[in-house]
Amino acid sequence: MKIFSQQQLPDIDAATIQEQNIKSIDLMERAAQYVSLYLSSLSYSRYVIFAGPGNNGGDALAVARLLAAKEGNNITAYLFNIGKGLSSNCEANRNRLAECPNVSFTEITEKFEPPQLSEDAVIVDGLFGTGLNKPLNGGFGALVQFFNASPAHIVSIDMPSGLMCENNAQNVRNHIVRANTTITLGAPKIAQLMADNHEFVGKLIVADIGLSDGKSKGLDSNYEFTDKEDIKNIIRERDSFGHKGSFGHSLLIASTYGMAGAAILATRACLRSGVGKVTVRTPHRNNNILQIAIPEAVLNLDSHEKHFSSPINTDDYNALAIGPGLGTSHDTAVAFIEQVRRTRIPLVIDADGLNILADHKGWIQQIPSDTILTPHFREMQRIGSHCTDSYSALTEAQEMAVKHSFFIILKGHFTAICTPEGKTFFNSTGNSGMATAGSGDVLTGIICALLAQKYTQTEACRLGVYIHGLAGDIAANKLGETSLIASDIIEAIPEAFLQLSAKDAEKAPSPDFLILK
């Protein structure tokens, strides 16, 4: 699913109208039907609709009319027409609503007397949608504060009013609606996928209103949202005549003494992800622990008793992952840079590998092209230079990926995969239970296994992140998010692969709503 920029959204609407030979108000009606369908599924009967002067307001007024058609609903609607007039579609829906007898409708041109709002009411926020390019202030800023201070349940149409589509670093956060639910139209917007905007977006729902994919207008996007169908097109069937040599040999360099768990988790995840063979380079003192915990792995013991101190020849391997539990001592840091500098096979750097790079930023120039780096936000802050919020972390990851020809997996709720070509793929699986020690080691093992099986870096990143999140979702469905640990994710990897490889007896229709969080 492509994610388009704020500037491209009007073109997508225009392409949809042209391709489907409909009027723009018909597209608005379609959006309103989906929103009213969702609202009708809630256990409320009082709806207070707030409409702005643009097309987002037109959506809201159409929703008010559709809700009023259901017996028992108490509908109050306010239209704020205090500036340069209404959009044509907003005006048309105002006229339609004015003829509806079951709605208390007020058009505000000057003074607004706010209604009493209780916890049994739903605020439908249709003040401003995706067209906003500066912070709200004045009366609209005060209106948003009124919303947020009320005990009412808030549902925003397309965007929480006040939130801009992409960069909100300079926004006035007190003047952004804090929605319980946002129903966005067609596809997610970039700002809705940023962690520090969750307090405004709430639960994000994508309503499929049949928008064009942009092909007719020649529109392309550097952003995509990865779903199950995308992944099923990536994953391969295993060769029936394959042997362990057919499925690759992974090398993991992991764990100082006292951190053997990181190597165990990464190795078990690697083995569960289809690789033929795994070798673990680890200090001598980890020998007995790993031999018992992962008998399927081959051990290659470092000469040092307690930490990684000397690189290994990689000619016999198909992929290398380095960093989980590795430590950051001087000897280890020197061995790390020697190792990655001489590596000519697909490479993943995680955890302490990233910490070493943060401590020696000049070394990043020596990292081979096409290397995969897997930072979370704090690690991105350390290896970068100007990350202050989720959006700036994303843009720096994108810049670094292009500049150094890296693949950067910026981990989070909607993990972003940034490629050397300037593409960004957001992931759709995973849950907060995966925010637990060792979860990143599991992801590293999965990706290393896929690289060893000769998936491209882009394929390995997208498939690995999706499988990791799907396994976490499977585990959370069985155990709950609170009690989830990294080993639970590994145990669910087989079921995740089974779900993706299962042949659908009959292709089910796409759901009207895709609940993302």
- Binding-site residues for AMP, in ranges, read 411-415, 440
Among 313, 310, 297, residue whose Cα is nearest residue 345: 313
Distances in whole angstroms, Cα of residue 501 to Cα of each of 2, 204, 220, 393, 454: 24, 28, 30, 34, 18
* H-assigned helices in 405-515: 439-452, 457-479, 486-501
Residue 307: helix, strand or coil by DSSP? coil
Distance, in Å, from the CA atom of 237 to the CA atom of 53, rounded to the nearest integer, reads 53
Query: Residue positions in the annotated binding site?
Result: 55-59, 125, 129-135, 158, 161, 262, 325, 376, 411-415, 440-441
Distance, in Å, from the CA atom of 409 to the CA atom of 451, rounded to the nearest integer, reads 15
Distances in whole angstroms, Cα of residue 448 to Cα of each of 227, 231, 267: 22, 17, 9
Distance, in Å, from the CA atom of 367 to the CA atom of 350, rounded to the nearest integer, reads 13
Task: Provide the CA 121 distance to its chain's centre, in angstroms.
Answer: 31
Query: Residue positions in the annotated binding site for K(+)?
Result: 56, 125, 161
Query: Residue positions in the annotated binding site for (6S)-NADPHX?
Result: 55-59, 129-135, 158, 262, 325, 376, 441
Among 321, 335, 328, 314, residue whose Cα is nearest residue 259: 328
Cβ burial, residue 284 (10 Å; 0-12/13-18/19+) = middle
Residue 318: helix, strand or coil by DSSP? coil
* DSSP H or E segment with residue 282: strand 277-282
